[in-house]
Structure 1
Amino acid sequence: MAKKILFINQEISPYVPDSSLSLMGRNLPQFMQEKGYEIRTFMPKWGNINERRGQLHEVIRLSGMNLIIDDTDHPLIIKVASIQSSRIQVYFIDNDDYFTKRLMASDEKGEEYSDNGERAIFFARGVLETVKKLRWVPDIIHCQGWMSSVVPLYVKTAYHEEPSFANTKVVTSLFPKSLNKSIGDNFKRSLEFRDVKADLLGKYSDNFDFDELIKLAIDNSDGVIEVGDDVSADLADYAMRQNIPLLKNPGTDFVDSYEKFYNQICED
């Protein structure tokens, strides 16, 4: 039976401008689908996405849940579209406050949003709740981009007894640094959900920044992949010190290396 891979992406081309992250977000699911894997793909519905051009439409049966973050209700909206050239279906996590009315990590003036941490939490929980509703059980969850960095923690703690994720392996890709400021002074408090309590987060700085966020992802992943030559050596070394399998940057011809790594992770 073909393995099932859930790709949780920060960016996917053509919905946002081309970058190493958005191109990988588009190409990797396509390549794995062509190899016979069953895939699902998620990303945030950033405010700079043209819904009409991308032919996004809301999935009513999946929308409507409220996610409580830091004692505040936030409605979850799920939209879907297809990349025609690759026949890849993309699910979008949306919310008026966190995504629809805003750009990506930074506003029109280039200032990073002070609540980027809360946005990542909402995105993570929105994806996992939606996958549960789909009654789909991934063998592997592959997280790409800082926006997906909360997912590994929740899979291994808050959702570890859910049938959809009980036996799922998590892979995190390391990309070059893309956040410069902290992601909110209430991030730890906002993370608390089910089994995720403050004492689980004691090893991390109260001032969560990009590096702390990626360390959180690494600590809860079963494997880590370097993407590109300019990934932080400190973060790659951190993964190795935690004895987490690390795939060094395989370059442009990466598909076979990724597949081999997936199989290695699933066998461990």
Structure 2
Amino acid sequence: MNGKKILFVSSELVPYLPENPVSLMSYEAPRMVNSSGGQIRIFMPRYGNINERRHQLHEVIRLSGMNLVINDMDMPLIIKVASIPKERIQVYFIDNEEYFKRKGTFTDKEGNLFPDNDERAIFFAKGVVETVKKLNWTPDIIHVQGWMASLLPLYLREYYADEPIFADSKIVTSVYDQGFEGALNADMGKKIAFDGIDESKIAPLSTPDYNNLLKVAVDYSDAIILASEGVSEDLQQYIESLQKPVLPYVSVQESEEAYSNFYKTEVLK
């Protein structure tokens, strides 16, 4: 991966959130690329349960300050950064007081999904793209992990279709069995349509549950990684029907060689 630029966009990442399959591979994949000479950028949301003092997050004034329009509302975008010391990896955090200050990741204390998770996902997708544009950094590969990041492929290919910085970027989406119960806000499709994206392109989101969110993500991806052994049969069959390059599940121990070969031979071919 020497010299290749890979943008990692993740819902969760260790050491900032507890370890689970998504947060662990969201750390391991960039670490592998970084150690093999690739250039990386990592983005994640700045959830309110991330300890800013312990992890030494600080705002990047030159990148912050713009407003993103979400469902006809102006929402300020704040960018923070921190470093993973032992790996010398910098992480960019997408922040907004309204969406990310609360002390929870996806659910409240009772385990109920936040009712605005759909808007948080839209904000995150737009925030990542606008920040990368400001950085003027052209990724060869954009690797998406976790459902909060799953609208990024759609927005890149539709809303930002004319952005030259991403014209040659390849999108990879990792699909996990770790999702959420129930569905997001029933008006999610309408909020995305507000951005000029035809509702026919997001038909699965008439029921915005986990599987349908991932179906939209893989629709707009160039390649797919099965990052769990237990991906639902419904999702697996849908992915097979797309006839796109797919990396079958491999363990964390096997992932370095497998991911590197997949990037080189299937994604960048």
TM above 0.5, one fold?
yes
**Which residue of 2 is the match for residue 70 of structure 1?**
71
**Which residue of 2 is the match for residue 47 of structure 1?**
48
CA offsets, 1:188-222, max 9 Å, x none?
Answer: 12113655222322x32412111110000010000
Contact conserved, 2:170 with 2:268, CA < 8 A, in 1?
A: no
Segments of structure 2 that go 5 or more residues without pairing to the other structure are none
Distance (Å, rounded) in 2 between the aligned partners of 1:205 and 1:85: 40
Pairing 1:85-234 to 2, within 5 Å after superposition: 85-192=86-193, 196-201=197-202, 203-234=203-234
Distance (Å, rounded) in 1 between the aligned partners of 2:156 and 2:24: 25
Amino acid at match of 2:243: N
**Which residue of 1 is the match for residue 261 of structure 2?**
260
CA offsets, 1:87-124, max 9 Å, x none?
Answer: 11000000111111241110122111122111111000
Distance (Å, rounded) in 1 between the aligned partners of 2:243 and 2:9: 24
Contact conserved, 1:13 with 1:26, CA < 8 A, in 2?
A: yes
Distance (Å, rounded) in 1 between the aligned partners of 2:92 and 2:120: 17
Give the match's secondary structure for 1:178: coil
Contact conserved, 2:222 with 2:245, CA < 8 A, in 1?
A: yes
Give the match's secondary structure for 2:43: strand
Distance (Å, rounded) in 1 between the aligned partners of 2:229 and 2:200: 35
TM-score when normalising by structure 2: 0.95
Contact conserved, 1:170 with 1:223, CA < 8 A, in 2?
A: yes
**Which residue of 1 is the match for residue 38 of structure 2?**
37
Amino acid at match of 1:250: V
Give the match's secondary structure for 1:49: coil
Distance (Å, rounded) in 2 between the aligned partners of 1:197 and 1:228: 31
CA offsets, 1:30-60, max 9 Å, x none?
Answer: 1110011100000000110000001000000
Distance (Å, rounded) in 2 between the aligned partners of 1:24 and 1:205: 26
Contact conserved, 2:7 with 2:141, CA < 8 A, in 1?
A: yes
Distance (Å, rounded) in 1 between the aligned partners of 2:119 and 2:39: 30
Distance (Å, rounded) in 1 between the aligned partners of 2:194 and 2:69: 9
**Which residue of 1 is the match for residue 249 of structure 2?**
249
CA-atom RMSD, angstroms?
Answer: 1.4
Between 1:147-156 and 1:258-267, the stretch displaced more is 258-267
Distance (Å, rounded) in 2 between the aligned partners of 1:26 and 1:138: 18
TM-score when normalising by structure 1: 0.95
Contact conserved, 1:158 with 1:193, CA < 8 A, in 2?
A: no
Give the match's secondary structure for 1:142: strand
Q: What's the % identity of the aligned pairs?
A: 46
Give the match's secondary structure for 1:158: coil
Query: What is the total number of aligned residue pairs between the two structures?
Result: 267
Distance (Å, rounded) in 2 between the aligned partners of 1:265 and 1:192: 32
Distance (Å, rounded) in 2 between the aligned partners of 1:15 and 1:61: 23
Contact conserved, 2:71 with 2:194, CA < 8 A, in 1?
A: no
Segments of structure 1 that go 5 or more residues without pairing to the other structure are none
Amino acid at match of 1:210: Y
TM-aligned CA distance change 1:136 to 1:112, over 3 Å: same
Distance (Å, rounded) in 2 between the aligned partners of 1:53 and 1:229: 34
**Is 2:240 aligned against 1:240?**
yes
Contact conserved, 2:29 with 2:256, CA < 8 A, in 1?
A: yes
The alpha carbon displacement at 1:255 in A equals: 1.1
Contact conserved, 1:183 with 1:208, CA < 8 A, in 2?
A: yes
CA offsets, 1:50-89, max 9 Å, x none?
Answer: 0000100000010111111111111110000000011110
